[in-house]
Each structure stands twice: as structure tokens, then as C-alpha cells.
Amino acid sequence: MLKSTFQPALSAGIIKRCLTSSARIYQQSSKSQGIPKATEIEPETNRKVQQHLEFLKKYYTPELLQSIQISESLIDPRDVLELKKKGFRAKSKVAPGDALSDYSKTDPVWEEPIIYPNQGEGRTPYPKIPDIQGPDRTDLKLRFKDENTLKRKETAATSTRKIAEELAKLTGLDAGYIRGLYVRPIIMKRVSLKTSKGNIPNFFVLTVVGDRNGTIGLGIGKSRDGIRTAAVKAHWNAVKNLTPIPRYEERTILGDFEYKYHAVKLFMRSAPAGFGLRVNRNIFEICQAAGIKDLRGKVYKSRNPLLVCQGFVEALTKQRSIEDLAASRGKKIVDLRKVYYSH
């Protein structure tokens, strides 16, 4: 809102109104309040009003200039004059919400400049907006997306697409299918290669890949260049090792099994629908990738994550088929599948 400036002329009883753009509104209000008409206003005041209007036209559009005139018309000149008489400290930088307010604020907070979050740097005389909301809340830090982050995301998407295309040529699978696989790194650690010349740092990653529909693969990646390179190698090897596994009703294993892999002993039992996965945390990730929804079991003796994962995947691939189970029990396949065919 454009603030008007008033100067009382005590000798002639005339109120001069300089630097304003609403002379017509002032003339209308003067008729009702007994103030001299426009013909009695000094020519110097009219000339200054026109000068100021020409000055404002250089910086404001006609629509904005019209809004300034309307906003000035909503303020009674006598109220502004009374506010001016109270001095500079009586003025408020924020419009009062109460209609009966005298436009004065004594709280020092009102004297502080108003800072908006969308102000650009170097375009305002006010201090820079702090990055932290409060001095005691360092977790509320404002983070903005920069060009480097966007470039990194584009690079990651391009590398994933490139890996999928190369693996499609190698394995014969569809590139879109490879990109849509569920990928989960199970082990990510730094190791040391012990040599006569000292310890050589290395990185080890074990990744599981699956389509959540009965296909799963494990991959190991090692690299001295960093954990990212090792993760890419593990993903590559896991896709190459994709293997289908049999499932009962597409939710659990075909039957109970006990399997020994090196020092790991696995005892797994099938579970009814809605039972969930109540197993070792590493086996849980493998079941998620394979699409196994109901399973219960225990891991005895060694619980080395690498041996547990390799042993469980090997046990899944070596499950007895439903035909063998039917033959050993002396039943038909239809009975084991709980399917009834009507004639």
C-alpha cells in the first residue's frame, strides 16, 4: 500500500496532499467533511500529484496502479494525519486486524523487517534466511534440490538401463523384466586382504534378486574401487544366477525339509495361508524376493549370513517335486494339490 504524506496549513486552513494518486477520492470526502473544494487547492499540489502519477506509471502497470488508488481510498486521510502526529514510532509496519485500532504498536517485534521465504539472494536489504528453523532443532534443516543431485539421479537411471540391456543380451531375458526385478543387498561390508606386504582393503556385497513370483538369484560382488562397484557386480551376478523354485499354492514351500549346508542346519516347515514369515532375517529377505509369503523355521549351529543365504537357496532348488511326493505317499497329484476336477 502506498503511504500518503500530509502537511497541515494552519494559516489558510488547507490540507496539502502531496505524493498521492487519489485526488478524486479526496475531493469526494472533502465535500462531506467541509474541507475546501478542488478549486481552492493550490495549483502546486495538483502539479505534484500529476508528477507523482507519471512517476508511478514507469514502475507499475495500469491494473496495479488502479489497485493502489483503491487501497488508498479505503483509508480516511484524517486517520493517517492523526497517525503522523504521533511520530515515527507510532507507525506499524503490519496492517492491524482490528478496525477500531489506532494503527500503533508498541511491541518491538513489529519494528523488525518482514522476511519472505521466496526472496532471492542479493535482491533484498534484509539478512539471509537461516537454514535451520530453530537453534535447538538441527534436524529441521531446509534441503533444496540442486543440479548435482538431479544429474546423479539421471546418471544412476542411465547406468541401470545400460546394465539391463547388457544383461538382456547375455541371459536372453527381457530388459524391462530385468529392470523390474526386486533387488535387496543383504551383506555390505569392508574386508581386508591379508598379504605379506600388509592389509589391502576390499569391499564385499551379497545381493538377492527376484521377481516375487517364484524366481530367485544370489550374487556376490567384490571390489577395491568402492562399495558401489561391488554392489553393481553383485547385482550383475545375481541376475545371471536367476533360478526358478517350486512353491505350493504360490505362497509357501512344498513340504517340510531339513537341510545341512556346511556348518548351518536349516529346519523349515510350510505354514497355512496368512501365517506370515517367521524366520531368520536373512531368509526373510530371500522369501520376499522369491514370493514366499508363509513360512516358519529355525537356523541351528552357524548363523553366518552368507552360509545361511546360500544354504536356504540351495535347499529351495532341491525341494522334492509334487509328483515325487505323491508317488512316495501313494496318492494322486490332484489330492496333494487339493484340486477337484468335475466331469
Secondary structure (DSSP) of 29-74: HHHHHT---GGGS-HHHHHHHHHHHHHHHTTS-HHHHHHHHHHHHT
Is 109 domain-assigned? Answer: yes
Instruction: Give pLDDT, residue 65.
Output: 85
Pairing of strands 215-223, 243-244: antiparallel
pLDDT category at 328 given cuts 50, 70, 90 is confident
Is 295 in contact with 270 (CB distance < 8 Å)?
A: yes
Count of CB atoms situated within 10 Å of the CB of 17: 21
Is residue 16 domain-shared with residue 97, that is, in the same domain?
A: yes
Specify whether the backbone of 176 is left (phi greater than 0), alpha (psi in -120 to 50) or beta: alpha
Per-residue pLDDT band for 76 (boundaries 50, 70, 90) equals confident
* Among candidate residues 242, 275, 293, the one where a domain is terminated: 242
Pick from 207, 242, 277: which residue ends a domain? 242
Q: Is the pLDDT of residue 68 over 90?
A: no
Same domain, 222 and 311: no
- The CATH number covering residue 211 comes to 3.30.160.20
- 249 lies in a domain? no
Within a domain: 307:
yes
- The predicted structure's pLDDT at residue 102: 55
Residue 283 placed within a domain: yes
| pLDDT at residue 159, as a whole number | 78
Which grid cell sits at 195? Answer: 598379504
My answer on whether 236 and 265 are in the same domain is no
Residue-wise pLDDT for 175-234, tens only, equals 999 999 999 999 999 999 899 989 999 999 999 999 999 999 999 999 999 999 999 999
d(C-alpha 289, C-alpha 208), whole Å: 7
SS3 142: coil
Per-residue pLDDT tens over the stretch 234-287: 999 999 999 999 998 899 998 899 999 999 999 999 999 999 999 999 999 999
Domain of 303, CATH number, reads 3.30.230.10
Residue at which a domain ends, from 81, 114, 147: 114
126 assigned to some structural domain:
no
- Judge if 180 and 221 occupy the same domain: yes
Q: Are residues 192 and 105 both part of a single domain?
A: no
* Under 8 Å between Cβ of 241 and 217: yes
Question: Which pLDDT band, with edges at 50, 70 and 90, does 63 fall under?
Answer: confident
- Do 74 and 174 lie in one domain? The reply is no
Q: pLDDT for 3-25, tens place per residue?
A: 444 334 333 333 344 444 444 44
CA angle 170, 171, 176 (to 5 degrees): 100
Q: Report how far residue 293's alpha carbon sits from residue 91's, in angstroms, rounded to the nearest whole number.
A: 70
Whether residues 230 and 276 share a domain: the answer is: no
Asked if 219 and 263 sit in the same domain, the reply is no
Distance CA 167, CA 327 (A): 40
Model pTM?
A: 0.54
Domain assignment of residue 251, yes or no? no
Q: Is residue 127 included in any domain, yes or no?
A: no
235 and 278 co-located in one domain: no
Alpha-carbon distance of 134 to 142, in angstroms, equals 11
Residues 175 and 207 in one domain: yes
By residue range, what is the domain housing residue 38?
A: 5-114
| 227 and 304 both lie in a single domain | no
Helices (H) and strands (E) in the chain — how many of each? Answer: 11, 12
Portion of the chain with pLDDT greater than 90, in percent: 39
Cα pseudo-dihedral 14, 16, 20, 21, rounded to 10: 40
The torsion of the CA quartet 185, 189, 194, 200, rounded to 10 degrees, works out to: 100
Residue 266, strand partner residues: 259, 299
Residue 331 CB neighbours (<10 A): 11
**How much is the average pLDDT of 108-116?**
51
Report how many domains make up the chain.
3
Judge whether 191 lies within some domain.
yes
Co-location of 292 and 237 in the same domain: no
